[in-house]
Structures are given as structure tokens and as C-alpha cells.
């Protein structure tokens, strides 16, 4: 809690003087959230200051400054291409970075612009940013609380404050003298005077905005992965450049320009210059697909992180539930012969005709035709709800028999005190027991009493249980999430009893805690640490913004990928901190700005569809995985090195057969390269090797995209078309090109046919190589990783992970080829680290 000198100091009845205000403004600062705006140009240029960009910049300098020698001009083509990719990569990073600032700006919109404060003994209207601790402010119906304050007086004994912006609670909270009210909350009922105890960044709301800004400064998971890949490539480049300089210049005495050209090839070809751009385009296409699933992606790198999510922290109100109070008809308690339907009808009579509060709206929602509820009666008088009486009352004449009736509804104790007919000690005990039982289940109780002859006294007829019911599809959606390896946790600002009842109805568990009460010294015996509680809990109640942030942070520190849903200002810090922040369909601007994904339909099912879609996108359009997808860089580098070595061997063997034997020349009557004056630098030989390398390297996509044999999964039409178009162009260039500036010459159709046949022969063993690596990693997983896996299972509730269904069929129905493909699919983990029991 933030503490200021005035928190427990009695307020001066005349308010602060101008001198005191000036002194405290100097000491505490203005009541606003300061934003340190960094120059957009500087921020953009910083994205060109990282290891990968350094190598690109070095390559650009080499191409333009060091490549001009021996009568040849600088390499302008490479310079322009490198510069273009460098700018594109920086633009993408810059746009992503600016989102954090947008989130804080959206939060600022929730602050009150002006307020009534007592200064020098007079009430004056001032800008809310000029408030200081110790100021006395006036709070009236509809006012936004301008800063954290403590109530010092209220004519009605209490006020009702809507704290949805902070806690997500669906009903206003009563505040009496000495209670605190928080910045950005709204007064819904009553009037009060309060003393300011916290301003600016020292308010609950200010800390939320600060957290959002800090969370936005963190690098995303995909950026970290790309940095690791880039560093790996940079290390390789440095080693090969040093080796090439020693071999070319010291060993073979290459000319300056020829050596520089080779170094430039290593710089450009050895680093993934276009990787960020290509990945961004791919993810942008994926974002389009997710938009068809009612999920708008505002940060495209979130697609990769969504595929890896292991825990989904969901806000209760509006996501798991309808965010609409309703009467739970099966649990209505009757204290007379009046039916449950008539009890609701009598309660509807006692609702205000206009300006319905949350309770009245709940009662009236039980009827399809609200305008006809009072047909058949004549209203004689109506007493609206007020904080003192805590009830409403209607007196009406029944038109069918002219009998006058009275009905009252409200707080159980208040209504019970009015009842005089058929009132017994047993009924009093039962009412209190029923109210307590409802409270334990998270229900709010509304008592209804009837005076059926207009003066003989009230008789208690029923107790209406009110709750925010779960969505119809939420329970099934939670089961789907668990089958996908995603644990769903409820994070709510509501009371513990409400959270437990919601969890029970949804089948997600009832192991709930009040997060603010968790301490290392008061944990239950089965939990050793707070982290242990957070992992095992099904949800948390009474949660404030910083608590949500801390829950997400602790789960991330335990190695989980966390998605967080929310709709209000209170969710913005956790949305920014989580790996994937998800704003639900009716979210406020602050929540949308802090989120990576915005839903256009309500409910949890849209999120699960988005997770499935992201896994399919992340797996390069193969069937979506049933477990979270995570990067395993060791496997990725291993596959890349092995595939690269295999392709290099195919090229070296092909080259050796051409220049060291006369097989092709003797078989097809082609020109020999053995006695050629140009030696191995023959332009036609350059073209042949160019065609061989181009076709085999681009065909590798069909190997890596499939879990089994490359032909077991039909590729997308656009992928096949792209491959065919590029290969036709490459082949035509190899056959007909005669470009002196590239030192290549057309090789003819015969050599082109030989190259294609050679690559096809070498292409088929790729699958066997892939299966061998898959089996190798699967074996190492079963030997080493069970220790890690047991640990994950020990801290993860068992329903969260399901054994992957077997894909095998009976031996009589499965061919040997199909079995091999199935085995390959079972062990396929080249891009992921997916637990598979």
C-alpha cells in the first residue's frame, strides 16, 4: 500500500491553503501519470543497433566501400537490397514497440479531468491534476474519483462505488466513513466528502499504468528466439570469414576484389537477413486467418506465443460468465404457498419504472416483455431504493378485484423487520440460514415480502438468489483447453465464494484462494511456496491489478507461457505482462491497447479456436498440434546443420563426378570440363552448380513441413505454385542465361535434365534422414527428459495434459510404407518441444 503523510492525519475543515498546495505539489508532484516520450526517430534508429543489424550494416559497407577495386564498380545491387531489408526490419520492430505507449495513453483517458476541492475554506472547481495529498474533495453521483481518497463524511451513511475499472466486480461496492475509494472508480449512489491520500503514480491506478509501461519495454519471446538464431549465425560467419581470409589470401594468394566478393557472399548468405521480414509476412497471413476465427491480432508475433501457451488466466466476468446478473430459479427459497414464478413477478412490481439499477435489471430480465409487467395493476405509490432503507416498495390496486396490495424487496434483515404476519422464530432462523448458504455459494440474496390486503402487515414470501451465470459453452470449452494442454485459471476481483461457485458450475475446480491473503507463513500444509499455490490453484479471488501482474510474472518465471484475458483497466497491466494479452469483445480502450489479440465475439471458445489456429500457422500449415508448441533451438540447429551437410555432400559429389570423371560426357556426349582452360571457373559449370543448389535447397520445404513422408501431407496450392514458378524461372535462367556480369552462361536442356534427375535421386533419402533424427531426439527425450517431465507433471494438475491418441491402425490394414510414415509422425519434433508422455 502507498502511504502519504496525510493518510491518517485529520483533515482541516477549511481545506488546504495555497501555500500548502504549492509545497505539496513540489513534494509529491501533480496528480497525473508522467510519460517519458522518447523521440520517434531515436526509437526507430535503436532498432538498427543490435548484432544482426550490425552484420547487415557491415555487409552494406563492404558492398559499397570495399568492393570497388581492380576496375570494378561498387556492388550497388547488394547495397540497396541490404538497406531495404534493414529498414523494413526496423519499421516492424518500431511499430510493435510503440504499442506500449498507446496502452498507457488509453489508461490516461480513464482519469477525471476536473473535480470539486475545498481550498482556503471555499469549494472551487480545479483541474484534477492539481490535487495533492490532504485536499478535501466532493464526490457526487456520477463523479469519477480523481485520486485515491479516504471518506470523511457522507450524509447517507455510505456511498456506492463502481470499482469495475479496478477489480472487475459486476456490482457497486458500498463505502462508508474511513473507507478508501480509488482513482478512476465511479460514484453510483450517494454523496460524500473525502480527503486525498494518494495522487499520480502513488495511486492504485497510477501503479497499474506504470506496470503497463514497464511490461511494454520487455522483448517478446519471438524476438529473443530470433536474437539467438542471429547470434548463432554470426558466430558461424566470423569463424568462416577468418578461415576464408587465411585460406584465400595467405594460402591461395587471391586478388583483393575476388576475396572481398567471397567475404560478401558469406556476410549476405550466412545471416538470415530476410528472416524477420519473411517471418512478419508469414505471421501477417496468419493474422488474416485468425481474423476469420473472430480474433483480431494487433501484435503479429503473438501468433507464435499463442501456439506455445500452457496456462490461460481468464477474467471471470464477461468471459467465463455472461456479465449479466440473473435469478437462479432452481435455488429460489419459498416461505409461503406463493410459487417461485409469482415471487419473481411481485419483485418485478417493486422495481423502479425507469433508470433501473443492477438488481432491478436482473429481476426484470426474467420477463420477455418488460413493458407489460404491470398490466392489470394500478400503481398508487412507489418508494425507490435508498442507502438508508435498503429496499424498494410499491403500493398498487389489482384491477380485477380492486384489492390494494403492497410489495417490498430488498436486504433480508430490512425486509424481515417489516414482516408481522406468519412470522416465527423458525422462519427467522431459516431465513438467516438461507442467506448464509447463498453467500457461501456466491449468491446475493434479495428478500421479497407481500401485504396482500394493503394494511394488515407484510408476510415474507421468498428469497431470490442472484448471480452472474456461466456461459453455456464455457464448461465444454475448458475441457477442450485441457485436452490441448492448456490449463485455465480464473482470475477475478469478485468475492471468493462467487469464484468457487462459478468454478464448481464450470467443472474447472474449486481450489480457489484470496490472493491478497497469501503469505509464505500461512500456506496450507500441502503447499511449500506461493509459487506452488499459484500453479495448483484453479483460480484467485479479490484480485487487484498488481496481483494479476504478479500471478502472470510468477507463472512465467516457472517456465510457463501465459495468456491473459481481460476487458477493463484493471486487466491492462497483466495483459501487457503476459506472453499473449487477449482483450475480450467488449473491452475498454486501455485493455485493447495493452493486448496482443482482440476478440470480436464473447466467450472462451473463441480463444481456444485462436490457439488451434495459431498452432496450425506456427507448424507451417500442417495439422494443429494437440500440445503447446515451443521452440527447441538445439533441435533446430541440429536439423539445419545435418540438412545443410547433406545438401553440401550432394553438391560436392555432383561436382566431383562432373570434373573428375567423364561419366556424363561419355553417356550424353556433353562437353568435358577436365581439360578446360578456365579450370573450375568455367561459366557453364557455374550455371550447372547454381541450378543444382537452387532446386535442392528450395525443395527442402516439402521435407520440413511434413510430419511423416513428404507426400503424406498435401501441400497448399499456393506453396506448390510458388515452388513451380521459382523453379521454372531458375531452370530457364540456367538454360538460356548469358550474362557476363555474373560470369554464367547457359548450360542447355541436357545439363538441366541431368541436374533435375540428380536432385530427385538425392531428395528421397531426406525423409529417412529426418526419421533418423526424429528417433534420435525421441530416444534422448525418453532417457533424459522424463526428469523434467515428472517435475512438470508434479506441479501441473494432471487433467491439463492428455495422452496423445494413437494414430496407428491394425497390422492387416496398414502397409509397411504407411507404418513408417506414422512412426515418423509420432516422433516428429523438429520445431517444437512438446511433452508427449
Q: HSE-up of 410 (CA within 13 Å, CB side)?
A: 22
Dihedral over Cα of 803, 807, 812, 818: its sign? negative
- How far is Cα of residue 663 from the mean position of the Cα atoms in its chain? 60
What are residue 392's DSSP bridge partners?
409
- According to DSSP, the residues that pair with 398 across neighbouring strands are 377
Any residues with CB less than 8 A from the CB of 342 and at least 6 apart, and which?
Answer: none
Cβ atoms < 10 Å from Cβ of 285: 14
Cβ atoms of residues 570 and 167 within 8 Å: yes
Distance CA 215, CA 573 (A): 7
Q: Name the phi and psi angles at 642, rounded to 5.
A: -65, -45
CA distance 228 to 196: 49
CB 80 within 8 A of CB 296: no
CA–CA dist 641, 634 (Å, integer): 11
Q: Residues 300, 307: contact at Cβ < 8 Å?
A: no
Q: What distance in Å separates the CA atoms of residue 111 and residue 144, rounded to the nearest whole number?
A: 7
The active-site residue, picked from 78, 135, 162, 315, is 315
The DSSP bridge partners found for residue 467 are: 326
Over the range 249-276, which residues count as b (16 or more CB within 10 Å of their CB) and which as e? eeeeebeeeebbbbbbebbbebbbbebb
**Rounded-to-integer distance, Cα 290 and Cα 616, Å:** 11
Rg of the chain on CA atoms, in Å: 36
Instruction: Measure CA of the first residue to CA of the last residue in the chain; give whole Å.
Output: 45
DSSP 523: -
Three-state SS at 236:
helix
Helix (H) or strand (E) holding 76: helix 76-108
How many Å separate Cα 638 from the centre of its chain? Answer: 31
C-alpha angle 430-435-440 in degrees, rounded to nearest 5: 125
Which contiguous run of DSSP H or E holds residue 343? helix 340-349
- Grid coordinates representing 334? 419459498
Active-site annotation holds for 609: no
- Cα 440 to Cα 774: distance, rounded to the nearest angstrom: 53
Least Cα distance to 402 among 377, 382, 381 occurs for 377
Cα–Cα distance for residue pair 277/52, rounded to 1 Å: 13
What's the chain's length in residues? 837
Among all residues, which ones are annotated catalytic?
315
Amino acid at each position: 500500500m502507498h502511504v502519504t503523510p496525510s493518510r491518517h492525519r485529520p483533515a482541516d475543515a477549511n481545506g488546504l491553503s495555497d501555500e500548502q498546495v504549492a509545497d505539496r505539489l513540489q513534494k509529491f508532484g501533480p496528480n497525473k501519470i508522467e510519460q517519458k516520450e522518447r523521440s520517434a526517430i531515436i526509437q526507430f534508429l535503436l532498432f538498427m543497433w543490435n548484432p544482426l543489424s550490425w552484420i547487415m550494416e557491415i555487409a552494406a559497407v563492404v558492398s559499397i566501400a570495399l568492393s570497388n577495386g581492380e576496375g570494378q564498380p561498387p556492388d550497388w545491387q547488394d547495397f540497396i537490397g541490404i538497406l531495404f531489408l534493414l529498414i523494413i526490419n526496423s519499421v516492424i520492430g518500431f511499430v510493435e514497440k510503440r504499442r506500449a505507449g498507446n496502452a498507457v495513453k488509453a489508461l490516461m483517458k480513464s482519469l477525471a479531468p476536473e473535480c470539486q476541492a475545498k481550498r482556503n475554506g471555499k469549494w472551487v472547481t480545479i483541474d484534477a491534476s492539481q490535487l495533492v495529498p490532504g485536499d478535501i474533495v466532493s464526490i457526487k453521483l456520477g463523479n469519477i474519483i480523481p485520486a485515491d481518497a479516504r471518506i470523511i463524511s457522507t450524509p447517507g451513511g455510505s456511498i456506492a462505488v463502481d470499482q469495475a475499472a479496478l477489480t472487475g466486480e459486476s456490482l457497486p461496492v458500498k463505502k462508508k466513513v474511513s473507507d478508501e475509494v480509488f482513482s478512476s472508480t465511479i460514484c453510483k449512489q450517494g454523496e460524500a466528502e473525502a480527503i486525498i491520500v494518494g495522487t499520480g503514480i502513488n495511486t492504485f491506478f497510477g501503479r497499474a499504468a506504470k506496470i503497463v509501461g514497464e511490461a511494454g519495454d520487455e522483448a517478446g519471446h519471438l524476438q529473443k528466439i530470433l536474437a539467438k538464431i542471429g547470434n548463432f549465425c554470426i558466430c558461424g560467419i566470423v569463424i568462416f570469414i577468418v578461415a576464408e581470409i587465411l585460406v584465400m589470401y595467405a594460402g591461395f594468394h587471391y586478388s583483393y576484389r575476388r576475396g572481398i566478393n567471397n567475404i560478401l557472399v558469406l556476410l549476405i548468405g550466412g545471416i538470415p537477413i530476410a528472416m524477420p521480414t519473411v517471418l512478419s509476412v508469414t505471421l501477417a497471413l496468419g493474422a488474416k486467418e485468425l481474423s476469420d476465427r473472430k480474433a483480431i491480432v494487433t501484435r503479429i508475433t503473438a501468433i507464435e506465443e499463442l501456439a506455445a501457451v500452457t496456462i490461460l488466466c481468464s477474467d471471470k466476468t464477461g468471459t467465463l460468465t455472461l456479465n449479466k446478473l440473473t435469478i437462479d430459479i432452481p435455488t429460489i427459497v419459498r416461505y409461503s404457498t406463493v410459487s417461485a414464478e409469482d415471487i419473481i413477478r411481485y419483485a418485478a412490481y417493486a422495481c423502479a419504472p425507469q433508470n433501473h439499477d443492477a438488481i432491478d435489471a436482473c429481476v426484470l430480465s426474467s420477463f420477455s416483455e418488460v413493458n407489460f409487467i404491470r398490466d392489470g395493476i394500478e400503481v398508487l405509490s412507489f418508494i425507490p431504493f435508498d442507502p438508508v432503507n435498503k429496499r424498494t416498495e410499491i403500493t398498487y390496486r389489482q384491477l380485477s378485484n380492486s384489492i390494494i396490495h403492497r410489495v417490498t424487496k430488498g436486504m433480508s434483515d430490512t425486509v424481515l423487520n417489516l414482516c408481522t404476519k406468519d412470522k416465527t422464530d423458525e422462519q427467522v432462523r431459516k431465513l438467516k440460514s438461507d442467506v448464509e448458504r447463498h453467500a457461501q455459494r456466491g449468491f446475493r440474496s434479495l428478500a421479497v415480502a407481500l401485504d396482500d390486503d394493503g394494511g394488515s402487515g407484510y408476510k415474507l414470501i421468498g428469497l431470490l438468489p442472484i448471480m452472474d451465470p456461466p456461459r453455456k459453452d464455457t464448461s465444454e470449452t475448458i475441457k477442450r483447453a485441457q485436452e490441448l494442454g492448456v490449463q485455465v485459471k480464473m482470475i477475478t476481483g469478485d468475492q471468493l465464494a462467487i469464484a468457487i461457485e462459478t468454478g464448481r458450475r464450470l467443472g474447472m475446480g474449486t481450489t480457489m484462494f484470496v490472493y491478497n491473503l497469501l503469505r509464505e507463513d500461512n500456506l496450507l500444509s500441502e503447499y511449500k511456496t506461493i509459487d506452488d499455490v499459484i500453479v495448483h490453484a484453479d483460480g484467485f479471488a479479490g484480485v487487484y491489478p498488481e496481483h494479476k501482474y504478479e500471478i502472470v510474472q510468477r507463472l512465467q518465471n516457472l517456465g510457463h507461457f501465459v495468456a491473459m484475458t481481460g476487458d477493463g483497466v484493471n486487466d491492462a497491466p497483466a495483459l501487457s505482462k503476459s506472453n499473449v494479452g487477449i482483450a475480450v469483445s467488449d473491452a475498454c480502450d486501455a485493455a485493447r491497447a495493452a493486448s496482443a489479440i482482440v476478440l470480436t465475439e464473447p466467450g472462451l471458445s473463441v480463444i481456444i479456436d485462436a490457439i488451434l489456429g495459431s498452432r496450425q500457422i506456427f507448424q507451417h500449415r500442417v495439422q494443429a498440434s494437440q500440445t503447446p508448441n515451443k521452440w527447441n533451438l538445439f533441435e533446430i540447429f541440429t536439423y539445419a546443420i545435418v540438412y545443410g551437410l547433406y545438401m553440401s555432400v550432394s553438391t560436392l559429389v555432383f561436382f566431383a563426378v562432373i570434373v573428375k570423371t567423364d561419366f556424363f560426357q561419355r553417356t550424353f556426349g556433353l562437353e568435358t570440363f577436365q581439360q578446360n582452360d578456365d579450370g573450375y571457373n568455367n561459366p557453364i559449370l557455374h550455371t550447372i552448380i547454381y541450378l543444382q543448389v537452387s532446386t535442392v535447397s528450395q525443395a527442402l520445404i516439402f521435407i520440413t513441413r511434413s510430419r511423416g513422408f513428404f507426400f503424406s501431407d498435401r501441400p497448399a496450392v499456393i506453396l506448390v505454385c510458388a515452388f513451380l514458378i521459382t523453379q521454372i524461372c531458375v531452370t530457364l535462367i540456367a538454360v538460356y542465361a548469358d550474362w557476363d556480369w555474373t560470369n554464367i552462361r547457359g548450360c542447355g536442356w541436357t545439363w538441366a535434365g541431368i541436374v533435375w534427375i540428380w536432385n530427385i535421386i538425392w531428395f528421397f533419402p531426406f525423409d529417412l534422414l529426418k526419421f533418423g533424427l526424429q528417433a534420435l531426439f525421441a530416444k534422448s527425450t525418453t532417457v533424459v527428459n522424463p526428469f523434467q517431465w515428472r517435475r512438470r507433471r508434479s506441479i501441473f494438475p494432471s487433467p491439463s495434459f492428455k495422452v496423445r491418441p494413437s494414430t496407428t491402425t491394425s497390422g492387416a490394414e496398414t502397409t509397411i510404407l504407411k507404418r513408417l510414415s506414422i512412426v515418423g509422425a509420432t516422433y516428429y519434433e523438429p520445431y517444437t518441444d512438446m511433452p508427449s508422455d
